[in-house]
Amino acid sequence: MHSVKFVDILKVDPETKQRVRYWRNKEHIRRCMIGQEIISEEEHNKWLTNLGSDLRIKFWIVFSEDTPIGAVYLNDIDYEKKISDWGFYIGEDTYLGKGLGKAVLYKFLDLAFSDMDMDYLTTLVLTDNDRAIGLYRKFGFKEKRLSIRSEDDISVMELSKKEWKVKREELENLLRGKDKR
């Protein structure tokens, strides 16, 4: 499996911090998000400033080798209930569809369920985002309910720590090519 590294956005250089806005505003990412508005530089800088004091958000830059390629985050962390919303994207086009999504998700789920000690992770996905839904199902996420917005269908997908433990073993075999089913 690809090796990826996560670095807290607060610890990366200013250029990479700004790169996040460029990624988030890209068409292929924006149209997969629930909030699809273009983010201004001012909004982005305000968000960056607030991140330091907002314990409910953890935001990491994903690196492949030394290249920043995307982001993964926990949003709305509830430390008492041990539940959080989360999301991710690969912002550099040349890194898409090469298995990095799987590598990021695998590492992220370990981080969220072990290091961050979450019990449940949920994410909202637009139902036409086949790529993300296929990937999440592969990693054990289940559709919990469907909510209908005016123009979009949104699926809530959830995974528990317990389910991840089981799925992780299955995937480990699969990703290492031991299980050829």
Q: Which residues form the interface with ligand COA (CB under 6 A)?
A: 28-29, 32, 87-90, 96-102, 123, 125, 129-132, 134-135
Shortest spacing between CB 106 and ligand COA, in angstroms: 10
Residues 61, 63: Cα–Cα separation, whole Å: 6
Reference 4, options 59, 57, 58, 66; nearest CA is 66
Q: Which is nearer to ligand COA, 82 or 102 (CB)?
A: 102
Distance of closest approach, residue 179 Cβ to ligand COA, in angstroms: 13
Terminal Cα-to-Cα distance of the chain (whole angstroms): 18
Q: How far apart are CA 116 and CA 133, in angstroms?
A: 24
153 backbone dihedrals φ, ψ, rounded to 5°: -100, 135
Produce one character per residue of 117-129: b if its CB has 16 or more CB atoms within 10 Å, e if not: ebebbbbebbeeb
Which of 72, 118 has the CB closer to ligand COA? 72
CB 169 → ligand COA: shortest distance, Å?
17
* 3-state SS class at 136: helix
> Smaller CB distance to ligand COA: residue 57 or 96?
96
Q: For ligand COA, which residue has the nearest CB?
A: 101
Closer Cβ to ligand COA, 51 or 135, answer by number: 135
Residue 58 beta carbon to ligand COA: minimum distance, rounded to whole angstroms? 17
Between residues 12 and 96, which has the closer beta carbon with respect to ligand COA? 96
Structure tokens at 149: 């917005």
* DSSP structure class, residue 179: -
CA distance 94 to 70: 11
Q: How far is the CB of 33 from ligand COA (least distance, A)?
A: 7
